[in-house]
């Protein structure tokens, strides 16, 4: 646990930064909506509704009719933030010692490479969980002014749980994809750019799968079709998405462990 | 009893050969020096012992455990000093030592304080503010803080001033006296000559010589040079001197007996100058290096 805490402490500034950004984003959009009068709100929702159907389809923008729909719309912005952070933190954490030159120090301690990897991954999971919980709590609290009747309906708790669950699942996939990417030599050089690129590429795969018939099989490789907030609210997380995400996670862990054990020490 | 055993140890870096079929044994309680020119494979051997890299062929064991498969267990009993100390730059020294101490059982904090005092390591400084020598000293403290059974040092005196070098030798003597084994790799032996009890020569990835000296330098053969008025040949031969030579009024020889007897005998002569030095280990191994570490003979 020594290593988990150390990693957590080392990343605390970045973690607080991304979590606060997420909370701020939720508060900004939800707050804007809460302080607008009903006719003003309807104007904005109509504007969104008037976007070309292709664009609305592409970005999963549906008609906003209630607070749950608004939160689903906001979560579409939170998920990419969390996912890019998950890859970034995963890459940075694994190859941090390489960058700092402290790798021989870490490897000289009585801990196996598998142990190092597992503790670091555990720390990344805790960090991502921290992000999901705090953004989820913020979203949950915004139901009070948005609903306007002084209490939070039970359905709000369910909606936020589902949305946070989707964010958690999608982020977990990216976290482990980032873990695998971190095995690449010199992966630590531009972790944020790498994270952003990986996310954009996988999103583009989803759009391609949606628009090109022949590529439809690739749809499950993309966050574009995974845990889409609107669908999550309506149908929950599909079992096939669960199964596939666990398959991807296990594959990434297995490969990362295999490579990390044989990884050449960069001195 | 052998504490370190390497059998047929080979390491290739692509086409380049780092180590070739190395067989080596280090006995428990020894201070073993692995000497050789730069690029001979000394650090490669240490990296294999520490499980930093995997061998192409062969096996290396420490405490009868495989360094590749049981490295975690082995490292509980190992202290490691790299050629250049590298740690988390932003951490403060006391935090770093505390962090490292958490990985071992029963590390005494007051012992860490003592070591820091002994090696002049400022515990409140950040690692990035330490000098090259400071990093080396920190590496030594980190290696000794858990009272390891074996200490591995790569170029141990590199970056140390003469006082710190003496402190290190003293600490290693103490560790040996308390039952630890010391293994070090160096381009030149002179700095560690005083405490070395066994030595191996590595050249081009192969062990070319291995010798157990068995006793520290003060008990080993010495080179004596005397500028004296008169013939002292009979005296020094009677005392068992070897390789006697006389040139430009200076008599030089190798001497292995009691120095008091020699001085008593010399008191009858008019001695202008006398010079006594330990015989370099390199010489006993017929191995000479010039300053850059290139093999001359």
Mean pLDDT within A173-199: 87
Question: Whose CA is closest to A30, among A82, A94, A77?
Answer: A77
What is the per-residue pLDDT for A151? 64
The per-residue pLDDT for range B127-136, each reduced to its tens digit, is: 999 988 889 9
Domain count, chain B: 2
Lowest mean pLDDT among A37-41, A52-56, B17-21, B49-53: A52-56
CATH at B227: 3.30.70.100
Which stretch, A30-39, A147-156, B85-94, B217-226, has highest mean pLDDT? B85-94
The residue of chain A nearest to residue B80, with distances taken between CA atoms, is A108
* B139 pLDDT tier (thresholds 50, 70, 90): very high
Q: How far is CA B57 from CA B7, B9, B202, in A?
A: 9, 6, 18
What is the per-residue pLDDT for A20? 95
Neighboring chain B residues of A101 at a CB cutoff of 8 Å: 86
**Count of CB atoms situated within 10 Å of the CB of B234:** 9
What is the per-residue pLDDT for B277? 79
Same domain, B197 and B258: no
Same domain, B58 and B150: yes
What distance in Å separates the CA atoms of residue B35 and residue A59, rounded to the nearest whole number?
A: 66
Q: Contact, A19 vs A136, CB < 8 A?
A: no
Mean pLDDT within B85-111: 89
Within its chain, how far is the Cα of A6 from the centroid?
23
What distance in Å separates the CA atoms of residue B253 and residue B267, rounded to the nearest whole number?
A: 18
Mean pLDDT within B76-101: 90
The per-residue pLDDT for range B248-259, each reduced to its tens digit, is: 888 888 887 788
- Helix and strand counts by DSSP (H, E) for chain B: 9, 14
Same domain, B233 and B191: no
The yes-or-no verdict on residue B293 having pLDDT over 70 is no
The yes-or-no verdict on residue B192 having pLDDT over 60 is yes
The yes-or-no verdict on residue B292 having pLDDT over 60 is no
Q: Contact, A85 vs A131, CB < 8 A?
A: yes
The yes-or-no verdict on residue B285 having pLDDT over 60 is no
Cβ pair A110:B54 closer than 8 A: no
Strands B2-13, B16-27: pairing is: antiparallel
Q: What are phi and psi of B248, to 5 degrees?
A: 50, 40
What is the per-residue pLDDT for B141? 94
Same domain, B159 and B265: no
Mean pLDDT within B271-275: 88
- How many CA atoms, within 13 angstroms, populate the side-chain half-sphere of residue A244? 16
B211 touches chain A (CB under 8 A): no
Cβ pair A102:B86 closer than 8 A: yes
Which of B214, B248, B264 is the last residue before a domain boundary?
Answer: B214
What distance in Å separates the CA atoms of residue B12 and residue B56, rounded to the nearest whole number?
A: 6
B89 touches chain A (CB under 8 A): yes
Cβ pair B103:A110 closer than 8 A: yes
Same domain, B163 and B263: no
Q: Contact, A221 vs A78, CB < 8 A?
A: no
Cβ pair B50:A108 closer than 8 A: yes
Domain annotation covers residue B55: yes
Domain annotation covers residue B293: no
Which of B193, B214, B235 is the last residue before a domain boundary?
Answer: B214
What distance in Å separates the CA atoms of residue B30 and residue B4, rounded to the nearest whole number?
A: 11
Neighboring chain A residues of B54 at a CB cutoff of 8 Å: 262
What distance in Å separates the CA atoms of residue B159 and residue B83, rounded to the nearest whole number?
A: 9
Which of A100, A112, A115 is facing B88, going by the closest CB pair? A100
Which of A111, A262, A264 is facing B103, going by the closest CB pair? A111
Lowest mean pLDDT among A42-51, B17-26, B108-117: A42-51
B236 lies in which domain range? 221-278
The per-residue pLDDT for range A128-146, each reduced to its tens digit, is: 999 999 999 998 888 877 7
What is the per-residue pLDDT for B216? 53
The yes-or-no verdict on residue B64 having pLDDT over 60 is yes
* B148 pLDDT tier (thresholds 50, 70, 90): very high
Mean pLDDT within B27-31: 90
SS3 at position B276: strand
What is the per-residue pLDDT for A214? 83
What is the per-residue pLDDT for A144? 77
Same domain, B66 and B184: yes
pTM, two decimals, is 0.77
Domain annotation covers residue B194: yes
Tokens coding A51? 């976007």
Q: Contact, A227 vs A60, CB < 8 A?
A: no
B76 touches chain A (CB under 8 A): yes
Which of B54, B87, B103 is facing A102, going by the closest CB pair? B87
Mean pLDDT within B136-150: 93
Mean pLDDT within A230-256: 86
* A residues 72-101 closer than 8 Å to B (CB): 97, 100-101
What distance in Å separates the CA atoms of residue A169 and residue A241, rounded to the nearest whole number?
A: 9
What proportion of chain B, given as a percentage, has pLDDT over 70? 90
The per-residue pLDDT for range A62-99, each reduced to its tens digit, is: 777 778 888 888 888 888 899 999 999 888 888 777 77
What is the per-residue pLDDT for B297? 32
Neighboring chain B residues of A6 at a CB cutoff of 8 Å: 99
What is the per-residue pLDDT for B283? 62
The per-residue pLDDT for range B197-231, each reduced to its tens digit, is: 888 888 888 888 777 665 555 556 778 889 888 88
Domain annotation covers residue B296: no
Same domain, B31 and B157: yes
What distance in Å separates the CA atoms of residue A75 and residue A254, rounded to the nearest whole number?
A: 31
Same domain, B115 and B19: yes
Cβ pair A111:B72 closer than 8 A: yes
SS3 at position B127: helix
Cβ pair B89:A267 closer than 8 A: no
Which of A2, A101, A107 is facing B50, going by the closest CB pair? A107
* A110 pLDDT tier (thresholds 50, 70, 90): very high
Higher-scoring residue by pLDDT: B269, A220: B269
Q: Return mean pLDDT, chain A.
A: 84
The yes-or-no verdict on residue B66 having pLDDT over 90 is yes
Residue labelled with tokens 């009691």: B258
Q: Contact, A107 vs B52, CB < 8 A?
A: yes
Domain annotation covers residue B287: no
Same domain, B237 and B203: no
Domain annotation covers residue B118: yes
Which of B164, B184, B214 is the last residue before a domain boundary?
Answer: B214
Same domain, B117 and B160: yes
Domain annotation covers residue B285: no
The per-residue pLDDT for range A145-174, each reduced to its tens digit, is: 777 666 667 778 888 888 899 899 889 999
A9 touches chain B (CB under 8 A): no
How far apart, in Å, do the first and last CA atoms of chain B sit?
Answer: 33
CATH at B58: 3.40.50.300
A266 touches chain B (CB under 8 A): no
- How many CA atoms, within 13 angstroms, populate the side-chain half-sphere of residue A28? 10
Q: How far is CA A158 from CA A148, A154, A155, A163, in A?
A: 18, 7, 5, 9
Q: What are phi and psi of B10, to 5 degrees?
A: -130, 135
CA angle A35, A36, A39 (to 5 degrees): 155
What distance in Å separates the CA atoms of residue B27 and residue B191, rounded to the nearest whole number?
A: 22
Q: Contact, B53 vs B11, CB < 8 A?
A: yes
Residues paired with B169 in a beta bridge: none
What is the per-residue pLDDT for B287? 47
What is the per-residue pLDDT for B93? 93
Within its chain, how far is the Cα of B290 from the centroid?
18
| Disruptive mutation site among A110, A111, A113 for chain B (greatest number of B CBs within 10 Å) | A110
A194: enclosing H helix or E strand? helix A191-211
Cβ pair A110:B52 closer than 8 A: no
How far apart, in Å, do the first and last CA atoms of chain A sit?
Answer: 26
A112 touches chain B (CB under 8 A): yes
Same domain, B36 and B182: yes
The yes-or-no verdict on residue B152 having pLDDT over 80 is yes
Within its chain, how far is the Cα of A111 from the centroid?
30
The dihedral region occupied by B132, where left means phi > 0, alpha psi between -120 and 50, and beta the remainder, is alpha
Q: Contact, B178 vs B28, CB < 8 A?
A: no
Same domain, B41 and B89: yes
* A residues 55-74 closer than 8 Å to B (CB): none
Q: Return mean pLDDT, chain B.
A: 84
SS3 at position A183: coil
* A residues 201-240 closer than 8 Å to B (CB): none
Cβ-count burial A63-92 (b if 16+ within 10 Å, e if not): ebeebbbbbbbbbbebbbbbbbbbbbbbbb
Mean pLDDT within B72-86: 90
Strands B57-62, B2-13: pairing is: antiparallel
What is the per-residue pLDDT for B219? 54
What is the per-residue pLDDT for B145? 93
* CA–CA min distance B79, chain A (Å): 8
What distance in Å separates the CA atoms of residue B156 and residue B191, rounded to the nearest whole number?
A: 9
Domain annotation covers residue B286: no
B104 touches chain A (CB under 8 A): yes
B3: enclosing H helix or E strand? strand B2-13
Cβ pair B51:A107 closer than 8 A: yes
Which of B73, B75, B82 is facing A109, going by the closest CB pair? B75
Q: Classify residue A239 as exposed, middle or buried by CB count within 10 Å of its CB (0-12, 13-18, 19+).
A: exposed
Cβ pair B50:A109 closer than 8 A: no
């Amino acid at each position: 646990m020594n290593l988990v805490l150390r990693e957590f402490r080392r990343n605390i500034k970045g973690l607080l930064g991304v979590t606060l950004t997420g909370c701020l984003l939720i508060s900004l959009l939800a707050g804007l909506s809460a302080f607008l009068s009903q006719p003003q709100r309807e104007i904005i929702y109509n504007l969104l509704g008037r976007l070309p159907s292709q664009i609305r389809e592409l970005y999963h923008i549906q008609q906003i009719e209630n607070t749950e729909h608004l939160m689903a719309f906001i979560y579409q912005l939170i998920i990419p933030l969390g996912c890019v952070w998950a890859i970034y933190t995963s890459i940075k954490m694994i190859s941090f010692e390489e960058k700092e030159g402290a790798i021989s120090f870490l490897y000289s301690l009585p801990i196996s490479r598998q142990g190092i990897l597992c503790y670091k991954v555990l720390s990344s999971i805790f960090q991502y969980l921290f992000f999901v919980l705090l953004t989820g709590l913020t979203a949950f609290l915004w139901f009070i002014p948005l609903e306007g009747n002084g209490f939070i309906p039970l359905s709000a708790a369910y909606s936020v749980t589902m949305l946070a669950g989707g964010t958690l699942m999608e982020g977990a996939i990216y976290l482990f994809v980032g873990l695998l990417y971190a095995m690449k030599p010199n992966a630590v050089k531009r972790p944020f750019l790498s994270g952003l690129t990986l996310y954009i590429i996988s999103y583009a795969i989803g759009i391609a799968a949606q628009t090109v018939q022949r590529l439809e099989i690739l749809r499950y490789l993309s966050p574009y079709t995974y845990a889409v907030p609107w669908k999550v609210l309506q149908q929950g997380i599909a079992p096939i998405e669960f199964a596939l995400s666990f398959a991807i996670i296990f594959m990434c862990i297995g490969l990362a462990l295999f490579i990390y054990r044989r990884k050449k020490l960069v001195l | 009893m052998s504490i370190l055993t390497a059998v047929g140890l080979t390491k290739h870096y692509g086409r380049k050969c780092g180590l070739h079929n190395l067989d080596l044994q280090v006995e428990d309680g020894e201070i073993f020096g692995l000497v050789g020119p730069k690029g001979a494979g000394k650090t490669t051997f240490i990296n294999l012992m520490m499980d930093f890299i995997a061998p192409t062929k062969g096996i290396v064991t420490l405490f009868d455990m495989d360094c590749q498969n049981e490295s975690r267990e082995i490292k509980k009993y190992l202290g490691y000093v790299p050629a250049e100390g590298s740690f988390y730059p932003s951490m403060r020294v006391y935090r770093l030592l505390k962090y490292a101490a958490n990985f071992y059982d029963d590390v005494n904090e007051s012992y860490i304080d003592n070591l820091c005092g002994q090696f002049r390591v400022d515990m409140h400084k950040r690692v990035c503010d330490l000098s090259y020598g400071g990093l080396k000293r920190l590496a030594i403290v980190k290696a000794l803080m858990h009272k390891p059974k074996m200490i591995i040092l790569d170029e141990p005196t590199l970056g140390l001033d003469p006082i710190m070098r003496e402190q290190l030798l003293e600490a290693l003597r103490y560790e040996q006296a308390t039952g630890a084994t010391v293994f070090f790799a160096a381009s030149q032996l002179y700095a560690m000559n005083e405490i070395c009890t066994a030595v191996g020569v590595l050249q081009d990835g192969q062990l070319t010589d291995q010798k157990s000296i068995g006793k520290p330098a003060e008990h080993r053969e010495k080179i004596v040079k005397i500028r004296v008025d008169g013939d002292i040949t009979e005296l020094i031969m009677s005392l068992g001197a070897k390789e006697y030579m006389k040139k430009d009024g200076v008599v030089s020889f190798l001497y292995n007996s009691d120095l008091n007897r020699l001085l008593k005998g010399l008191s009858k002569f008019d001695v202008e100058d006398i010079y006594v030095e330990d015989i370099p280990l390199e010489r006993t191994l017929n191995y000479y290096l010039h300053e850059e570490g290139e093999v001359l003979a």
